[in-house]
Structure 1
Amino acid sequence: MAAVCLCAGSAWAAAADLQLIGAVKARDHQLVRALLDQGVDVNAREGDGATALHWAVERDDAQVADALLRAGADVTAANDYGVSPASLACLNRNAAMLAQLLAAGADPNAATSMGETLLMTCAGTGAVDAVAMLLDRGATNVNAREASYGQTALMRAAARKDPEVIRLLLAHGADIHARSTTYLLPVSLGNPLDDVGGGAVMVPQRGYTPLLFAARNGHVENVRLLLDAGADVNEAAPTGESALVVASFSGQGQVAALLLDRGADPNDHGAGYSPLHTAVVRGDLELVESLCARGADPNARLAEGSQQRREAYWYALSERWRGATPFWLAAKFAEVDIMRALVDSGADPLLAADDGTTPLMSIAGIGYRPGSIGMNRRNQGIGPDAARLLKAANEQPTLEGTRLVLEFGGDVNAANDSGNTAAHGAAVLGYASVVELLAEHGADLNVKNQRGQTAQDVLCRQSPSHSLCITAGE
């Protein structure tokens, strides 16, 4: 009987201890005080190891946190993942709470079971005051790496728009040359909706320095600080992408401009493509002009497709485009202003890709298959209704670009390795005006490709009432 009573009493005590955590979660200050007055276990843990102090910090409840600490809460207690209350204060960007915990004995060098230090967490959230406080209170693990990605506090800061955090970390010896962990991952470059093709390949992942993080995320001041501290302006990722290519491919034109000003190589081709290729993919006319002005080769050839995509399929360089020049890409994406700018900078508007597809074929529509799924010329899904509107909107720049390449001497009857001509491409898109323009310049609409299709056949299946089709049927 005594044993039964003891167990019942223990169960009641345990329930009361956990009730404290519930009261903290509910922000019930009155109940918290009452339970503390009853002497409940202030360090009782939930199933995952969290204590009442964890929840007070998570709720940014300084008053309850103070009461718990005064009642003997263990400020260094970590849950089952190694997360301490101080980690949560950093995650919440709550410098005042962090100060309260440090004053109560929290370790400024504390880390989770995965090696995530307080300094990393605070740097990753941009909590400048908290970072400064940790450094002032003795945080010495400024170059520690967490286990998942091998990132440091400086990498976390570089990926954010918080230059003050970078300044603090650099002043305390942060390593600007450190790299995140690199590993090989099988990646399929194929896209069932388009011609961005290829099988699975082993692609190096990560391996970024602080400069590469800043270049990718577009933080100009962060890039400037890192360069001033000695970062190599031509630093490259394991894929071969230089900081300039990373910035250009990520659509960070301002960062790319700064890197050029600081001496970045405008012709870097370590990844198999140049900054000019990636600037065209992003449709960045201003950057294209800047690169050309700095000596970028407008006739550089695509040696390899991109091994990583920017924002899914539509910002990628396909293996099928090997040999493509920046002008060829501008034609593919119907970037007429960029096409003109490249020619003004010395681009040859007639150079074909390795499979024989010419810029004229590219602008006319070879390789672009919007169909009914609703894709634009960068293969972005936009929905069938929008696609119908976009088809009409895209026909004009396609017509304009086709006329431009014809002015430069584009061969209307050239065929690629699949036997397709420019007229085949325009016919697939249903752009009758482009087919007519090509025909006016001597295009043979009855040439068959390897599938036995003529441009006229393709056009007439889509627009049987077109004059070219009516004439053919007579």
Structure 2
Amino acid sequence: MLAGASPPAESADLQLKEAIRSGDHTAVRSLIENGADVNAPEADGATVLHWAVRWDDPESVDLLLGAGADADAANAYGVTPLSLACINRSAPLVARLLAAGADPNAATTMGETALMTCARTGNADAVAALLGHGASNVNAREASRGQTALMWAVAQGHPDVVRILIDHGADVHARTETRSLLVSVGGRGDERARELPLGGFTSLLFAARHGQVESARLLLDAGANVNETGPDGASTLVTASFSGHGDLAAFLLERGADPNAAGAGYAALHTAVLRADATLVRTLIENGADPDIRLTGGSRVPRATHWWILPASLAGATPFLLAAKYVDVEIMRILAEHGADPHLPLRDGTTPLMMAAGADWSNGEIDRHYRRVPPEVAEALHSDERPNLEATRFALSLGADVNARNDAGDTALHSAVFKAWSGVIDLLVEHGGDMQAMNERERTPLSMMCYEGDTLVRCAG
């Protein structure tokens, strides 16, 4: 190459990108002045303006725009510099690009508008700038799930953006698309496979799932229905409780949520017990929740899960029975003090006392909530009878029938022996438990006992 000759255009374009990456604005200016193509696309359609915005470099952006860079250049996915500015939560760059003529309504190939992106990342000034420059369809939906900017702002916890969008006409009643997923269930009392309804969420249901109290307040003030339900029948209150957001659940009760809504087969009180939220249990009862409301259907989730679940095998369960199963004596006590019947069984006759004594808990790698746990954790849980001993003692103090049988003929002692919990066994026997009670398989608690030396152990199988 001759001394003083200009480098090839391709080389200059690469040098321009490298200068922007390194923040060398002198080099950026020099390369532009020497003819570097500011609109040369890469293989995926991205330009150096995309990179300057991606690296959040206002000075390079100004230099490129001043040299004629296309503010609406889109890569192969339809992503524009404006979209990237929104991803970076950069209100100054959003303003620069809009001033340079960027289309505020441009969308990616999946239909995600800059307004959606800015709403998701949560810069209120950027959202306001887009709306002020003509972002016209505040209720546009992206293609994959039918989500709107308002839904994203709610789910990501940006109430200031929620307020702006509502003020500009965002539809608080819009729902995402509803679809079905075929899942394996296979638990006792349910089919092996089931269609799981997904989607169909409103912004308020997103607020319930993600615990967004202030956004929920704004949505309700704008006319959202406090008792909205998803396609599975779960109400906003149930969704908030199931998701572990007791503060939001309490707020929804203040705004008139039905404490006994159970369209999904379970009520907020069941899920509050599941999540061990004693404060919410008390709040629900004080706001009219039926302490004896029964579970009529389980949550639709796959087997072998780490999720919180209420399986269909617990059909007929009251909140008290669930608390006994989860050995949550504090909640058992709260429910009993508020009039719950401590003796109501499952549909198959399994009583709270049986649950406290270990019924419906196999010796596999699961915890008391049916969640998969590592083998060493499972062994520690199954070996520690102290929580169950306390729950059993409390159930007996309320007058539980120690020799009650379920449909399989099992008593509380059958369960305690199966778990090899000597303390629970002794306590039940002290209260009149019959070691000779025979179940439908012609097995008595006494015949089920296995020993290693003088130590009671869990029997194989």
The two structures share one fold, judged by TM-score above 0.5? yes
Which residue of structure 2 aligns with residue 383 of structure 1? Answer: 374
Which residue of structure 2 aligns with residue 411 of structure 1? Answer: 401
| 8 Å contact kept, 1:155–1:209 | yes
1:18, distance to aligned residue in structure 2 (A): 3.7
Deviations 1:351-397 (A, max 9, x none): 111122111111111111244x4x432244453444455456x5222
Which residue of structure 1 aligns with residue 75 of structure 2? Answer: 79
Moved more, 114-123 or 424-433: 424-433
Unpaired runs of 5+ residues, structure 1, are 1-8, 470-474
1:455, distance to aligned residue in structure 2 (A): 2.9
- The alpha-carbon distance between structure 1 residues 386 and 188, as it changes in their structure 2 partners (threshold 3 A), is closer
TM alignment of 1:99-248, pairs within 5 A? 99-190=95-186, 198-248=191-241
TM-score by length of 1: 0.89
1:403, distance to aligned residue in structure 2 (A): 1.4
TM alignment of 1:3-402, pairs within 5 A? 12-190=8-186, 198-308=191-301, 312-371=305-364, 373=365, 375-391=366-382, 394-402=384-392
Which residue of structure 1 aligns with residue 445 of structure 2? Answer: 455
| 8 Å contact kept, 1:196–1:313 | no
Q: Secondary structure at the match of 2:402?
A: coil
Which residue of structure 2 aligns with residue 420 of structure 1? Answer: 410
- The alpha-carbon distance between structure 1 residues 418 and 30, as it changes in their structure 2 partners (threshold 3 A), is farther
Q: Secondary structure at the match of 1:297?
A: coil
| 8 Å contact kept, 2:292–2:320 | yes
| 8 Å contact kept, 1:18–1:46 | no
1:13, distance to aligned residue in structure 2 (A): 2.9
- The alpha-carbon distance between structure 1 residues 223 and 338, as it changes in their structure 2 partners (threshold 3 A), is same
Q: Secondary structure at the match of 2:181?
A: strand
- Give the aligned length: 453
Moved more, 34-43 or 73-82: 34-43
| 8 Å contact kept, 1:370–1:376 | no
1:84, distance to aligned residue in structure 2 (A): 0.3
Q: Secondary structure at the match of 1:263?
A: coil
Which residue of structure 1 aligns with residue 419 of structure 2? Answer: 429
Structure with the bigger percentage of helix? 1
Unpaired runs of 5+ residues, structure 2, are none
In structure 1, C-alpha distance between the alignment counterparts of 2:408 and 2:200, rounded to whole Å:
39
The aligned amino acid for 1:412 is V
The percent of aligned pairs where both chains have the same amino acid is 55
- The alpha-carbon distance between structure 1 residues 47 and 311, as it changes in their structure 2 partners (threshold 3 A), is farther
1:467, distance to aligned residue in structure 2 (A): 7.9
Which residue of structure 2 aligns with residue 3 of structure 1? Answer: none
TM-score by length of 2: 0.92
| 8 Å contact kept, 2:186–2:303 | no
In structure 1, C-alpha distance between the alignment counterparts of 2:235 and 2:115, rounded to whole Å:
28
- The alpha-carbon distance between structure 1 residues 267 and 60, as it changes in their structure 2 partners (threshold 3 A), is same
In structure 1, C-alpha distance between the alignment counterparts of 2:275 and 2:265, rounded to whole Å:
17
In structure 2, C-alpha distance between the alignment counterparts of 1:467 and 1:274, rounded to whole Å:
40
In structure 2, C-alpha distance between the alignment counterparts of 1:128 and 1:202, rounded to whole Å:
39
| 8 Å contact kept, 1:131–1:165 | yes
In structure 2, C-alpha distance between the alignment counterparts of 1:401 and 1:102, rounded to whole Å:
64
Q: Secondary structure at the match of 2:450?
A: helix
| 8 Å contact kept, 1:123–1:157 | yes
Deviations 1:76-126 (A, max 9, x none): 001111110000000110101111111111111121111111111111111
